[in-house]
Amino acid sequence: MTSLHHNLVKTITTYTSLILVITALSSCATSPEGRTQFKLIPDDQMDLMGAQSFEQIKQQTPLSKDQNINQYVLCIANKIIPQVTQNPDPKQWEVQVFDDPQANAFALPGNKIGVYSGLLKYAKNQDQLAAVMGHEIAHVIAKHGNERVSSQMATQAGLEIASVMLGGTQDANNAMILAGLGLGVQFGITLPFSRSHESEADLIGLDLMAKAGFNPEQSVPLWENMSKAGASPPEFMSTHPSGSTRIKQLKERIPKANITYQQAVNNGQRATCKL
């Protein structure tokens, strides 16, 4: 009996391993820039995680009551969102401005966008703010949050934790999700986006802003404003690390984005969002 039982356990273990391998292989996908991605979490789960995280932030940070800033941010969002192929209807997105001095912004799966009023110190015109928002939305389009949460699940604890995470609400899992979604500063658990994620978000973001009628050349002074801050860099930089490669790579892509931008302008799509 003992031997039979042992064999049975062995067989089950073998099949479980096989299923795990198949699951892992089938969850490999490709980013919009052609990079292979490892994603374990279904899109609707990511949307749910994004929506829940957004509610958490709304509970702990006051919303801006400044009508001008709200209209300005909404104007920019409503130009960019129609360029998001996966979900181009602005009515299905929630955009909030937080009354907070931190220079930061984020977008989450589940069609959520948050902008902190402190960001306006660095994003000095509509095109510069569109560059940040385009970059954030690009992280969502490329499903970087899913990759980040998936790789943490895989490295930290394997399938058991994964199954708990997908249904669980435990604090540790919650922290892992928030960090994976790029909400480091807000919750004190910084997990910077990788160089490859930053690069993809920059390039996809540049394309989005150009299609929306924002001048892509303004992305360069924006990142320069952020980098020049010196001793007290904007909060945005702790989760979106930058270097000289970022500006160099943007400059290389700007001529192509300019063609897209000129087409948008010629079609009467030049953005006119004013503060």
* Closest CB to Zn ion among residues 73, 105: 105
Catalytic residue among 33, 55, 94, 136: 136
Choose the binding region for Zn ion from 40-48, 160-168, 193-201, 262-270 (rule: CB under 5 A): 193-201
CB of 197 to Zn ion, least distance (A): 7
Distance, CA of 40 to CA of 42 (rounded, Å): 7
| 136 included as an active-site residue | yes
Question: Could you say which of 73, 81, 161, 201 contacts Zn ion (CB under 5 A)?
Answer: 201
Question: For residue 116, which phi and psi values (nearest 5 degrees)?
Answer: -95, 140
213 burial (CB, 10 Å; 0-12 / 13-18 / 19+) is: buried
Q: Is 130 in the site for Zn ion (CB under 5 A)?
A: no
Which residues, in sequence order, are bridge partners of residue 116? 98
Residues whose CB falls within 8 Å of the CB of residue 87, separated by 6 or more in sequence, listed in order = 81, 93, 111
Query: How far, in Å, CA of 138 to CA of 207, rounded?
Result: 10
Distance separating alpha carbons of residues 50 and 56, to the nearest angstrom: 10
Residue number, 147 or 198, with CB nearest to Zn ion: 198
Token reading at 234: 């904007």
User: Which one, of 178, 89, 87, lies nearest residue 141 by Cα?
Assistant: 87
- The residue nearest Zn ion at its CB is 240
Q: Which is nearer to Zn ion, 123 or 201 (CB)?
A: 201
Interface segment toward Zn ion; rule CB under 5 A; list 96-104, 111-119, 187-195, 265-273 = 187-195
Nearer to Zn ion, 93 or 193 (CB): 193
Q: Shortest distance, CB of residue 139 to Zn ion, whole angstroms? A: 6
Q: Is 193 in the site for Zn ion (CB under 5 A)?
A: yes
Site string for Zn ion, 233-262 (x = CB under 5 A): -------x----------------------
First CA to last CA across the chain, in angstroms?
78
Minimum distance of Zn ion from residue 244's CB (angstroms): 16
Residues within window 50-69 making contact with Zn ion, judged by CB under 5 A: none
In the three-class reduction of DSSP (H, G, I as helix; E, B as strand; rest coil), residue 108 is classed as strand
Of 12-20, 22-30, 50-58, 232-240, which part binds Zn ion (CB under 5 A)? Answer: 232-240
Size of the residue set binding Zn ion (CB under 5 A): 4
Instruction: Determine contact, residues 90/78, Cβ cutoff 8 Å.
Output: yes
| 35 versus 270: smaller Cβ distance to Zn ion | 35
The β-bridge relationship of strands 105-108 and 94-98 is unpaired
- Select from 62-70, 117-125, 192-200, 230-238 the region that touches Zn ion (CB under 5 A): 192-200
Between strands 36-38 and 94-98, the pairing is unpaired
Integer Rg of the chain from CA: 21
- Residues known to be catalytic: 136
Binding region for Zn ion (CB under 5 A): 193, 198, 201, 240
